[in-house]
Structure 1
Amino acid sequence: MIYILLFLAVAIGYVIALLLNKKELKQMSLFLAFSGAFLLALTIFELLPEVFTSSTKEIGIYIMAGIMLQIVLEFFSKGAEHGHVHLHQHDKAFPWLLFISLSIHALLEGFPISEENNLLIGVIVHKIPIAIILSIFFIKAHYPRTTTLLFLTLFAIMTPLGNWIANHYSEIHTYKTEINAVVIGIFLHVSTTILFESSKDHKFNLTKLLTIIMAIVIAYFL
């Protein structure tokens, strides 16, 4: 069921994009703000307490490694993990750099998901708006539908694959704490970037503030 839900998150995003492809993306900033705050809150409430059962400084190194890894991935993805997609209008080749960087991100975010935490909900809430934005930019860039569907299908498989690997390989379980710490770093970077970038010119926006507070409260009471 976990694998199906993670796959459906991207499929739902694509369907929504088909319905919205002629409309502006202005309201997406609210959805992104909610998803960023929700993912950040779940990371702090669910994952951080779990990894800080061993050497605090050592775990901090892995968290920083996750942040640095995400910065490197975003050099190639141009920030697609938090709502920025830059595709060349005249180049319709399969965007391998974007795919590989997003796939590494998606694969790793599947590792800490389990029945013992609510991270599944956070990842789904994070993936749907990203899938919407990816799909709309593919559509507006006039990529062939086969390319769009192939990209999204492979992207949708990555997080379930990461979760499957984590559940079926004992070597991964041995280093579960370290891997989860890396993923925490990835989540911290992505979620905080979404929050910082969701406000135009960093101006105060009451609606966005209430959206963020609501996301944090919901994450806390899950």
Structure 2
Amino acid sequence: MNYLLLFLSVAIGYIVALFLRKRELKNMEVFLAFSGAFLLSITVFELLPEVFETPSKSIGVFIMLGILLQIFLEFFSKGAEHGHVHLHSETKSFPWLLFISLCIHAFMEGFPISEENNLLVGIIIHKIPVAIILSFFFINAGYKRSITLTFLFFFALMTPIGNFISNNYEMIHHYETQIEAVVIGIFLHVSTTILFESSKNHKFHLSKMSAVIIGIVVAYFL
């Protein structure tokens, strides 16, 4: 069921994007702010305590590696993980760099999801607005439907595959804490970037500020 929900979050994003107009897309910034606050809160409330059950400086090193990995991936994705898509292909060929970087990001997201935390909800809430924005720009940039659907299909598969590997391969369990720490770094970078981008010129709109507060409160009481 978890795998299906993760896959459907991208499918829902695509379906919503089909009916969106450019003016309506601006309202996604509020949902994006909520998703960023929710993901950050789940990371702080649940994932960080897990990896620091046995305090170690090396855990901090892996978290920093996760942050650096995400910065590296964003050289190619141009920030699509937090709602920015910049496609400039005149031939409308398959955007391989964007695809590979987003798939690596999505694959890593699946590893820490478990019954012991609420990360599944956080990932779904994070994926839906990103999938909407990604799909919207693909559609409006004039990419062939086959390219758009192929991209989204494999992107949607990556997080369930990451979670499947995490749950079913014993070797992964030996490095569970280190991998989770890397993913925490990824989440910290993505979620805080979303929040910073929600406050242009360092000013929060009331609607976005409310969305951030609601995201934090909901994550705390889950």
Matches within 5 A, 1:18-57: 18-57=18-57
- Deviating runs (4+, > 3 A) in structure 1? 21-24
CA distance in structure 2 between the aligned counterparts of 1:190 and 1:22, rounded to whole angstroms = 24
CA distance in structure 2 between the aligned counterparts of 1:23 and 1:156, rounded to whole angstroms = 26
What SS does the corresponding residue of 2:32 show, helix, strand or coil? helix
What SS does the corresponding residue of 1:204 show, helix, strand or coil? coil
Task: Give the TM-score normalised by the residue count of structure 2.
Answer: 0.97
Instruction: Indicate the larger mover: 165-174 or 3-12.
Output: 165-174
CA distance in structure 2 between the aligned counterparts of 1:178 and 1:93, rounded to whole angstroms = 37
Are the aligned partners of 1:89 and 1:142 in contact in 2 as well (CA < 8 Å)? no
Are the aligned partners of 1:21 and 1:140 in contact in 2 as well (CA < 8 Å)? no
Are the aligned partners of 1:2 and 1:120 in contact in 2 as well (CA < 8 Å)? yes
What SS does the corresponding residue of 2:25 show, helix, strand or coil? coil
What SS does the corresponding residue of 1:20 show, helix, strand or coil? coil
- Aligned equivalent of 1:198: 198
Give 1:202 shift: 2.3
Give 1:88 shift: 1.3
- Aligned equivalent of 1:211: 211
CA distance in structure 2 between the aligned counterparts of 1:20 and 1:145, rounded to whole angstroms = 16
Are the aligned partners of 1:77 and 1:97 in contact in 2 as well (CA < 8 Å)? yes
Give 1:208 shift: 1.2
Are the aligned partners of 1:107 and 1:161 in contact in 2 as well (CA < 8 Å)? yes
Give 1:22 shift: 5.0
Are the aligned partners of 1:35 and 1:122 in contact in 2 as well (CA < 8 Å)? yes
- Aligned equivalent of 1:92: 92
- Give the aligned length: 222
Matched, 1:62 2:50: no
What SS does the corresponding residue of 1:207 show, helix, strand or coil? helix
Matched, 1:148 2:145: no
- Aligned equivalent of 1:14: 14
Two-structure CA RMSD over aligned residues (Å): 1.0
Amino acid of the structure 2 residue aligned with 1:77: S
**Identity within the alignment, %:** 71
- Aligned equivalent of 1:133: 133
- Aligned equivalent of 1:120: 120
Amino acid of the structure 2 residue aligned with 1:152: L
- Aligned equivalent of 2:108: 108
Are the aligned partners of 2:198 and 2:204 in contact in 1 as well (CA < 8 Å)? no
Amino acid of the structure 1 residue aligned with 2:71: I
Task: Give the TM-score normalised by the residue count of structure 1.
Answer: 0.97
Amino acid of the structure 2 residue aligned with 1:107: F
- Aligned equivalent of 2:158: 158
Amino acid of the structure 2 residue aligned with 1:78: K
Give 1:116 shift: 1.1
CA distance in structure 1 between the aligned counterparts of 2:201 and 2:88, rounded to whole angstroms = 26
Are the aligned partners of 1:89 and 1:141 in contact in 2 as well (CA < 8 Å)? no
CA distance in structure 2 between the aligned counterparts of 1:34 and 1:76, rounded to whole angstroms = 25
CA distance in structure 2 between the aligned counterparts of 1:201 and 1:84, rounded to whole angstroms = 18
